[in-house]
Amino acid sequence: MIVLCCGWCGLLSAQMTHRTQVTLLDSIDLPKSQVLDAYHLSPEAGVLTQDSCYFGYVNQLGNRRVYATPVDSTVAIVRQYRLLNTWSEPDTLPQRVNRWQEQNSPYCLSDGVTLYFSATDTTGWGGLDIYVTRYNIDADTYTIPENIGQPFNSPGNDYLYILDETRGTGYWATDYYSAPDSVRVYKFESSAPVLWTTEELITEH
C-alpha cells in the first residue's frame, strides 16, 4: 500500500490543496475504452454505464440514473427516474452543475444528494477535474460545485471518481503520465475527509 498526501504537490497554489490522505490499494493501466473493467463495485454501490466516451450511473434500486450526454453545444449531465416499466423524460441538471463546456462521469452517494462528476474548467488543474456538489431537496437545486483538489486532480484528465461506501474503497481514473488512448485507474482506501460528505466541506458560496 502507498500513502499519497496531496499527490501533485507544487503544481498549483495551496488554495486548491485539500489536506487529504489517500492509501492506494492498487492501480492498473488499460485502454480508455475499457476503463470500466477496473471498477469492481459492491451491489450496494449501483452500476456504472458507458455510452461511447460518456459515462453514467444507475443507483442500487435501479430507479434513478444520471449520465452525461451531448446537449446543444455542450456535454451535460441529465437525470431520469424509473416510472413502472419506462424512464421519465431526461431532465438536464441546472446550470450550476452544467456550467462548463463538458461534464462527465456523474456518480451519486447512497445519501441521494451527494453528486461527484468531472468537468472542464479553465481555473482548475487542467483537462477534466473532479467536482462534488449536493442536492438541496427543499430548494430543488445544487450547491456550487467544489473542486476536490489533490491528489485526485492533476494537469491531465481526471474522472470516474467512485466511492464504494459498503467496502470503504474508492476509484478514480487519470490519463496523466499515461500513454495515448490509455488511462490509469487507482483503487484506494478512503478516510472521512476524502469522502467529502460533511456540510463544512461542501458549502454554498
Q: Mean pLDDT of residues grouped by 10 in the chain (205 residues)?
A: 43 41 89 96 96 94 96 95 93 94 95 94 85 90 92 94 93 93 92 42 33
Nearest to 100 by CA among 80, 67, 127: 127
Q: What is the pLDDT of residue 138?
A: 86
Q: Tell me the longest C-alpha to C-alpha distance in the chain.
A: 52
Alpha helices per DSSP H over 68-191: none
Q: How many CA atoms lie within 13 A of 185 on its CB side?
A: 19
Prediction pTM value: 0.84
Question: What is the reported pLDDT for 151?
Answer: 85
